[in-house]
Structure 1
């Protein structure tokens, strides 16, 4: 049932965030929740969740739809409507009623998939009629899987235009995304801001440093995330076979888009005995366990705008070998544990892993911050002409909870 919005307590600016709910769990589900909770430290916040994104049988992770795998939840100050179903009636009507009752100053639409486009158009038109300003936050221009289907790509490219014509501001995660977005769509006159992805430190339930073995012993590598063609896992499997026997690899991820090549290569690898393959979407508690058991995270993406696994790794203070593609360089450029490598080269990847082993054994400081993200939204709101109370403009910028842990000697993390 939808929560009933309360009247504003102190005249604060009101914001409603629209994004993925928990039923079709993905990284955007976590991002929507974390952003809403962060904005609620400054603004009166509501959240409208996309509940049933599409027919369950069409979803890559159809077997787990509706399962409770997340431990994260919305903070009590956030008023949550859960949620909108793809067929619209009556859920979309109720969402508009929620929007009208909450009466926000700004509606923030999370963009990551074309399956939400028709619902977003309705919400956008309703917002404009109510005098609500509209912001679209782009996680990528279009989902890579959808872009491969001609009709899905045409649908998105066509129907997103009336949405963008009614958009007052845009948020992106990097200068790379900004350039890609503006080269794809006509956004002349629409202000934008770069809000670097905030930390995913909700997975790190053991932030207190604990003693560990020296980095010269066995080195445990971790690949984490959905297994899709652009993730480059096949490059890592090939690179891993070139590494000394003191290296082990754990692959944790759910196969999407029928991309079974990595699984086949793992089974055929001469180093298969040193590879553990967990081919499913894991719970939050398991996420924490896998990252705490790792010495290094390897993300060999062929392309990417942003990466939730990268931010989970940084929140755990782990060394990360990541390809220098898309917005990932900007996301990790200030992280002392990052080693960048050319995409699509297993030999270069193997060399980078060996080189990055020197970073293992200590906890690196995560530079990301949700306060910085909120500050970027505040700047955009001001440029859009949204009245911002003076107290809401004052922000104490801190970083991930990882920042509370000092950088330690090489034998500790």
Structure 2
């Protein structure tokens, strides 16, 4: 089957670009000629205040990649769709944000005009709807999901949301667990014996990620000598988190490192911490558990979305309720019980990506 993946690839950064690229490699290895139709400009800068691109690729680039799509060039959407339909049997639209939907509707219209029913179109939903959504988001995503031939989602919860938005008369969405697509960080730095007395939150800082919950829990439940590093892009700046840390008496225990963390800096960041904390209020799927385990670190996470699926309670991490300061505080206190950090670190095993990817490719093609 000839496949076209429409989604971000290098120089775009982060998990989305890595997933699109790795999926293309996996499809080609499975015998399906694949091309990637990436973006020249994916979002208006005003809608994505962080850094959108990086200079160095975070994995092996995919050679058959074009970068013609631009949010500000609607005249090109239909033309690209026609070309993809003429050249491929399957077109996969990778959905991260409703901002992409107008362009995808244009691509879809072009594909239908050129390929009729021969070329199938699937929406691959990293997020069916945003964690922080607007009323227009539902209308946009519903319009897309009702026009494609199939939908793939990364959890049963997300599949149910997509099914409800499509309505009656459509095939049920296919569910496939998001497979590992970790950045190439170079040599992993093995954790040295002993405790660092430092915890790490890594990733974009947005309200649904629950950094405020983590700060309150740190003040309530962690020993007084334990520090926290919050590393990633702060949408809206660091002032709000810095003010909260000050109010809680944590100003000298919290380091706010604003800015995207390049892959080559991750080993050093992980080597300086005892555990990664994921205090999400809501989640779909994330690579952060596997990324921490790749570097030998246990994870303290909420049971939001699929986070808990990859944490073995009291073996390689601890779990708590989403949005619950007291429960997270208890987890932090449990983590720093005598001997617990070393015991949990000893239980960590890196993930084997192969079975995840074999199942994922099969389910995508089934969608």
Tell me the TM-score normalised to structure 2 length.
0.86
- Equivalents in 2 of 1:262, 1:370: separation in Å? 39
Q: 1:212 aligns with which of 186, 189, 192?
A: 192
| Structure-2 change in CA distance of 1:117 and 1:203 (3 Å) | same
Query: Quick one: which of 199, 215, 226 aligns to 1:221?
Result: 199
Correspondence for 1:173: 154
Question: Compared with structure 1, are the counterparts of its residues 244 and 32 closer, same or farther at alpha carbon in structure 2 (3 Å cutoff)?
Answer: same
> Mind listing any 5+ residue stretches in structure 2 that lack a counterpart?
none
Q: CA 1:89–1:136 in 2, change beyond 3 Å: closer, same or farther?
A: closer
Q: Distance in 1 between matches of 2:54 and 2:361?
A: 32
- Given the alignment of the two structures, is residue 41 of structure 1 paired with residue 25 of structure 2, yes or no? no
Structure 1 gaps, min length 5: 1-12, 385-413
Q: Which residue of 1 aligns with 2:6?
A: 18
CA contact (8 A) 1:17 1:108 kept: yes
Q: CA deviation at 1:206?
A: 2.3
CA contact (8 A) 1:108 1:136 kept: yes
Whether 2:80 is the aligned partner of 1:95: answer yes
Does residue 301 of structure 1 match 2:280?
yes
1:230, CA displacement in angstroms? Answer: 0.7
The whole-number CA distance in structure 1 between the counterparts of 2:186 and 2:315 is 22
Q: Match for residue 280 of structure 1? A: 259
| Matched-pair contact (CA < 8 Å) for 2:311–2:317 | yes
Alpha-carbon shift at residue 65 of structure 1 (Å): 4.1
Superposed displacement of residue 106, structure 1: 1.2
1:106 maps onto 2:104 in alignment: no
C-alpha distance in 1 between matches for 2:5 and 2:250: 46
Alignment size in residue pairs: 357
Any idea what the Cα deviations from partners look like across 1:214-256, whole Å, max 9, x if unmatched? 3xx3432100111111111011111112311342211101112
Q: Which residue of the partner structure matches residue 292 of structure 2?
A: 313
Q: CA deviation at 1:349?
A: 1.0
- 1:91 CA drift (Å): 4.4
* Cα distance in structure 1, aligned partners of 2:207 and 2:350: 28
User: RMSD over aligned Cα, in angstroms?
Assistant: 2.8
For 2:226 and 2:60, locate their aligned partners in 1 and report how far apart those are by CA, in whole Å: 36
> Which whole-Å deviations, capped at 9, do the CAs of 1:109-131 have from their partners, x for residues lacking one?
11111111111112222333412
Q: 1:89 to 1:124 in 2, by over 3 A?
A: closer
Q: Tell me, yes or no, if the aligned pair for 2:2 and 2:34 is still in contact at 8 Å.
A: yes
Give the 3 Å change call, closer, same or farther, for CA 346–132 of structure 1 in structure 2.
same
Q: For 1:46-104, what per-residue CA distance to the aligned partner results, in whole angstroms no more than 9, with x for missing partners?
A: 1111331233244221xx3444264324234xx10113111225643563365256x22
